[in-house]
Amino acid sequence: MDRVALRGLKARGHHGVFPREREEGQTFIVDLVLHLDTRPAAAGDDLAKTVHYGVVAEEVVDVVQGEPVDLIETLAERIAQQCLKHEAVAQVEVVVHKPDAPITVPFDDVTITITRSRV
């Protein structure tokens, strides 16, 4: 499978288990790798036969900005399911970064990585 990657999509969401996270929100960063066969699109130079990554980016931001969830695992799952709605996408890897997670010791980032495919 070929891969289309989007890295560093940023959006503000109100996800988390603590009231402060829900009230104030925080920035989440999303990386995606979309697995698909790009040969039909390349053969005809036809956007309709691939995935429009601009549209995917907007949809992912909408998910992050949407209904709050407690866990970044749930957020990653929602993002993956949104990506798989695109017919050309056979599999997706989603990484959700939560760089401002409420952790009391110094850290750089917290991430969850999931891979989902059509079943």
Q: Which active-site residues does the annotation give? A: 98
How many angstroms separate the CA atoms of 88 and 31, rounded?
18
Q: Are 40 and 49 in contact (CB under 8 A)?
A: yes
Are the CB atoms for 30 and 45 separated by under 8 Å?
no
